[in-house]
Amino acid sequence: MDILTVGVEEEYLLVDRETRAPVNRGPAVIGALANQLGEQIQAEFYTTQVEVCTRPTPDRDDLREQLVRLRRAVADGARRGGCAAVASATPVIRPQEPLTVTEGDRYRRMAQRFAALLGPDHLVCGCHVHVGALDRERALALAGHMRPWLPVLQSITCNSPFVCGRDTGLASWRAVAHAGWPTVGPTPAVDEQQYLAYVDGLVSSGVLLDRRMVYWYARPSEHVPTLEIRVTDVNADLDTVVLTAMLVRGLAGALLADVDARVPAPLPPEPELRRAHRLAAMYGIEGPALDLESGREAPAVSLVDRLLDRAAPGLAAAGDLGAVAALWQGLRRQGTGARRQRAVYRATGSLAAVVDSLEVAAAGRALEAA
pLDDT single digits (tens) 120-135 = 999 999 999 999 999 9
Going by C-alpha positions, the residue among 306, 307, 314 that lies closest to residue 249 is 314
- List, for residues 73-102, the tens digit of each pLDDT value: 999 999 999 999 999 999 999 999 999 999
Q: What is the mean pLDDT of residues 108-123?
A: 95
Spatial separation of the C-alpha atoms in residues 246 and 223, rounded to whole Å? 22
Q: Which residues pair with 185 in a beta bridge?
A: 216
Query: How large is the average pLDDT for residues 3-13?
Result: 97
Confirm if 293 and 233 have CB atoms less than 8 A apart.
no
pLDDT of residue 193: 96
Nearest to 84 by CA among 132, 145, 42, 21: 21
Q: How many CB atoms lie within 10 A of CB 301?
A: 18
The pLDDT value recorded for residue 309 is 98
**Percentage of the residues of the chain whose pLDDT score is greater than 70:** 98
Give the pLDDT of residue 362: 53
Q: Is residue 203 within 8 Å of 222, Cβ to Cβ?
A: no
Give the number of C-alpha atoms closer than 13 A to the C-alpha of residue 286, restricted to the C-beta side: 19
Q: What is the mean pLDDT of residues 28-56?
A: 98
High-pLDDT (> 90) share of the chain, %? 96
Q: Look at residue 366 in the predicted model and tell me its pLDDT.
A: 40
Reduced to 3 DSSP states, what percent helix, strand and coil does the chain have, rounded to the nearest 5?
50, 15, 35
Q: Decide the pairing of beta strands 166-167 and 162-163.
A: antiparallel
* pLDDT single digits (tens) 307-362: 999 999 999 999 999 999 999 999 999 999 999 999 999 999 999 999 999 999 75
- The 10s digit of each residue's pLDDT in 170-211 is 999 999 999 999 999 999 999 999 999 999 999 999 999 999
Position 2 scores a pLDDT of 78
Amino acid at 229: I
**The pLDDT of residue 368 is above 90:** no
Tell me the residue type at 183: T
| pLDDT, position 158 | 98
363 has a pLDDT exceeding 70: no
Predicted TM-score of the model (pTM): 0.96
| CB 220, CB 143: distance < 8 Å | yes
Q: What is the per-residue pLDDT for 233?
A: 98
Rounded to an integer, what distance in angstroms lies between the CA atom of residue 81 and that of residue 253? 41
Mean pLDDT, the chain, integer: 95
Instruction: Give all domains of the chain, ordered by start, each with its CATH number.
Output: 100-347 (3.30.590.20)
